[in-house]
Amino acid sequence: MTSTTSTPADADRALKARHRAMWASGDYPSLATDLLLDLGPIVVTAAGVRPGDRVLDVAAGTGNVAIAAAEAGAAVVASDLTPELFEAGRARAAERGVELEWREADAEALPFSDGEFDVVVSCIGVMFAPHHQRAADELVRVCRAGGRIALLSWTPEGFIGQMFATMKPYAPPPPPGAQPPPLWGSEQHVRELLGDRVTDVVVERRTLPVDLFATPEAFRDYFKARYGPTIAVYKALADEPDRAAALDADLADLVRRSARDGALEWEYLLLTAVRRPEVPSPR
């Protein structure tokens, strides 16, 4: 009789498989089209993407930023753990008349060489990698010395951060070592992740206006049907109808408290930095 022992590598593969399945559930491409298209050009402008730049979009999803970077004349690689999202991205790129490379990749173990890219970006993407320091180390590693990094993340205090806080009591406990995604929306946290490997850090808090939803319940039901993290929490409550009903009420109440004249403002942190030039080795 033989026994099998799970290793940390096995646990990590299982975690990433769950993440991939979560983002492939629902209909994230339609959500990105309905709500998030304006964010792509914002990141591209902040990163100073120029014709001829080699750009990596980490956790690119359907390519919101990647496609905008390609339109700016850059040579772009869109990478994501969930390649099921690429079909919608390829279709939109074709509609826009641009070409780019789509590559399945784990943000915590990017399959690219050190310093391979002039610009490394992520828009509400890398923030969902469970191990923040690993992901930050990879962002810096693949950016060339003197290259630019641009990150856009939902803040903990903003609406989406508060939505995650609302869902947390109903969700299964996170695996050991996993950190909450909205921490990437904390300036101090991201500065600590990047450390002294970057310079010229510029940080702004901005908001994305959202007026798609006529009622709080419409927002809740839209996210229950399309957004992987919300779908995952409700799936975990499948045998607990009372708790699912309580979450229904809490999400609708969050929208009710947050809306102003029927519209929401989703706060995000936009951070740009320059990869610190390498210090020459002493002769």
The mean pLDDT value for 150-175 works out to: 97
The mean pLDDT value for 72-88 works out to: 98
Contact 96, 119 (CB under 8 A): no
Measured between alpha carbons, how far is 143 from 177 in angstroms, rounded to an integer? 26
What CATH number has the domain spanning 14-210+265-275? Answer: 3.40.50.150
pLDDT attached to residue 281: 43
| Domain range list for the chain | 14-210+265-275
Residue type at 233 in one-letter notation: V
How high is the mean pLDDT of the chain? Answer: 95
**Distance of CA 277 to CAs 43, 54, 68, 140, 169, Å?**
22, 18, 27, 12, 44
- pTM: predicted TM-score of the whole model, two decimal places: 0.94
pLDDT attached to residue 7: 81
Confidence band (pLDDT; 50, 70, 90) for 278? Answer: confident
Confidence band (pLDDT; 50, 70, 90) for 9? Answer: confident
